[in-house]
């Protein structure tokens, strides 16, 4: 299976960095090759230009930006969703990784 790039977006990129660590650990345990990283909403466009992203997950605090990201991502065919608030609050890396995997599907 090819390496999957998962981008998380939150308001400042801070709270999500802990979730990234937990997702990386979950991916390692599953034997998945991933590049998981978090950026602030203001840096998201730059990261989308620089990296070949397979899926984008929005932190619950920036869910209001979903429509504008959908417009940006649709031409690129990049799936997008908002991280489940309970999983985000619990920093459940395994669940959020599963959410990303489902969105990527067989891409």
Q: Is 10 a catalytic residue?
A: yes
Q: Which one of the listed residues 7, 10, 58, 82 is annotated catalytic? A: 10
Distance CA(15)–CA(40), nearest Å, equals 10
Radius of gyration of the chain (CA): 12
Distance CA(47)–CA(44), nearest Å, equals 5
Catalytic residues, by residue number, are: 10
């Amino acid at each position: 299976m090819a390496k999957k790039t998962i981008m998380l977006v939150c308001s400042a990129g801070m709270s999500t960095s802990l979730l990234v660590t937990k997702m990386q650990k979950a991916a390692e345990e599953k034997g998945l090759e991933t590049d998981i990283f978090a950026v602030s909403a203001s840096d998201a466009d730059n990261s989308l230009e620089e990296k070949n992203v397979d899926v984008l997950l929005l932190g619950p605090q920036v869910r209001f930006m979903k429509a504008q990201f959908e417009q940006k991502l649709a031409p690129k065919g990049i799936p997008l969703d908002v991280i489940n608030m309970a999983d985000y609050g619990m920093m459940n890396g395994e669940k959020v990784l599963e959410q990303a995997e489902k969105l990527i599907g067989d891409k």
